[in-house]
Amino acid sequence: MKLCMIGTGYVGLVSGVCFADLGNDVICVDKNISKINQLKKSIIPIYEPGLEELVKKNYKAGRLKFSTNLAESVQKSDIIFICVGTPTKKNNYEADLSQVISVAKEISKNIKSFKIIMNKSTVPVMTGDKLEKLISKKVKKKLFSVVSNPEFLREGEAIRDFIYPDRVVIGTSNKKSNKILKNLYLPLISKGAKYINASRRAAELIKYASNAFLATKITFINELANLCEKLNVNIEDVSIGMGTDKRIGGRFLRAGPPYGGSCFPKDTRALVATAKKTKTSLSVINTVINSNENRSQLLLKRINYILKNKIKNKKITFLGVTFKANTDDMRESACLKMIPYLNKKGAKIKYYDPTGKKNEFEKLKNVEFKNTIKDACVMSDLIIIHTEWNELKLIDLRKVVKKKNFIVYDMRNIYSPDKINKQNIKYFGIGR
């Protein structure tokens, strides 16, 4: 099939490349000329394992093209995917739909034959209705169909998540579109993905509900971890004990820093904003947002306790600063709150991250990036393991730190407290 992906961020680029790999002809469109020129040279704007190889392969095979010409790309394609950002508005919790609206306007100027307009951007319920109304001002209704097709891929696991999704959600009551789209997704359905055809509004809500539920699960276990610290219970036992009940499920039940990234914080806020408009109380999600926003402060309190209220001049190392592993993304990473705070209190901070130095800390005096784990740790008083990168899981801490007494604060519970204690290293984890 002939597909056009508008927006070459995570969702647009990954889906476009994966659709091409399934044998479709795909044009990825972006208004950013330098991004498109780079992509034509297989230079990938985001850090995503496996993506570069897949771009190269499909570009070479001629199934994948990159363009800045939206009009031409829309005209040449049968299915148009809207994959642009919907960030939180500056002055409230609502999703900013300006990019989605502007793309829809452009699409509407270029429809001459039947097109399916798939919305993959995360948008509030009824945005599909709005887009349909907007496009029908320029185009006859029988020439287009607006469908909601939420995406559930995770940064760092995006390709695998695209190829082996648990489900494909198609929000439409248009039979013709449904038939075409079932065919488009057939290679994934035949590998076990469940195909769910729902109403367009339900599909839009499924996306928010899924992210909000996962955020709730994480917040739930994080709060229980706080309790475990008081009761001397290991949260890891609790996670396993709960998670093996199939009704609960063990995934997204790992306690750690507050959840971050570009999705959970943004989408929980947007869902609450939608509910507010309809005067519906989503008290659980409201509580989740507040609990998560307060969590960095809680972890800082614990650092204070670990260092016996003496932060000034302490040498603190952060291992991993991105919001999670396998991404270079710093958005809503807890480090953005913790590092400046500790820096202000007079700590001398070194950090290491496999994805390199971060602009976010550039202006902070006494915050220094180190190229190796060893250089970051060598004279440290406190090592904070913030991100669960694989390469941080088997460090011989006694070897890399050239000091007799130092402390480890393992925010991802990667290390065994017993093993670390046996080496005469003081160990703190989350909820244990």
* Beta carbon of residue 157, minimum distance to ligand UGA (angstroms, whole number): 7
Asked if residue 252 binds ligand UGA (CB under 6 A), the reply is yes
Sheet with strand 64-67: strands edge to edge: 64-67, 25-29, 2-6, 79-82, 115-119, 144-148, 167-171, 194-198
CB of 253 to ligand UGA, least distance (A): 6
- Whose CA is closest to 390, among 316, 324, 318, 317? 324
- Whether the CB-CB separation of 266 and 87 falls below 8 Å is answered with yes
DSSP 45-81: SS--TTHHHHHHHHHHTTSEEEES-HHHHHHH-SEEE
Least Cβ distance, residue 133 to ligand UGA (angstroms): 26
x/- contact string, 93-132, with ligand UGA (CB under 6 A)?
A: -----------------------------x----------
The answer for 130, left when phi > 0, alpha when psi is -120 to 50, beta otherwise, is alpha
Q: Which residues pair with 66 in a beta bridge?
A: 28
What's the angle, vertex CA 238, arms to CA 234 and CA 239, rounded to 5? Answer: 115
The residues that are catalytic are: 263
Q: Residue 89 or 105: which CB sits closer to ligand UGA?
A: 89
Cβ atoms < 10 Å from Cβ of 362: 9
Residue 30 or 48 with smaller CB distance to ligand UGA:
48
Which residues in 368-427 contact ligand UGA (CB under 6 A)? none
Q: What are phi and psi of 158, to 5 degrees?
A: -60, -40
Tokens, residue 241: 């004990």
Q: How far is the CB of 47 from ligand UGA (least distance, A)?
A: 12
Q: Which is nearer to ligand UGA, 139 or 170 (CB)?
A: 170
Of residues 208-227, which lie at the interface with ligand UGA (CB under 6 A)?
Answer: 211, 214, 218
Nearer to ligand UGA by C-beta: 330 or 373?
330
Q: Does 429 bind ligand UGA (CB under 6 A)?
A: no
Please list every residue from 320 through 349 that binds ligand UGA, using CB under 6 A.
323-324
**What residues have CB less than 8 Å from 234, skipping those under 6 apart?**
228, 431, 432
Residues 253-292 that bind ligand UGA (CB under 6 A): 253-254, 256, 259-261, 263-264
Q: Which residues contact 144 (CB under 8 A, 6 or more apart)?
A: 111, 114, 115, 116, 117, 135
If the CB atoms of residues 144 and 318 are measured against ligand UGA, the closer one turns out to be 318
Q: State the minimum distance, in angstroms, from the CB of residue 109 to ligand UGA.
A: 29
Tokens standing for 79?
A: 């299915």
Q: How far apart are CA 408 and CA 402, in angstroms?
A: 14
Nearer to ligand UGA, 128 or 320 (CB): 320
Cβ of residue 59: shortest distance to ligand UGA, in angstroms? 24
The two tokens of residue 252 are 């997204």
- Tell me whether residue 97 or residue 307 sits nearer to ligand UGA (CB atom): 97
Separation CA 299–CA 297 (nearest Å): 5
CA distance 239 to 164: 25
By CB under 6 A, residue 82 contacts ligand UGA: no
Element (H, E) at 144: strand 144-148
User: Is 128 or 156 the residue whose CB approaches ligand UGA more closely?
Assistant: 156
**Footprint (CB under 6 A) of ligand UGA, residues 139-168:** 151-155
Q: How many residues does the chain have?
A: 432
CA distance 146 to 131: 7
Q: Point out which residues bind ligand UGA (CB under 6 A).
A: 122, 151-155, 211, 214, 218, 252-254, 256, 259-261, 263-264, 323-324
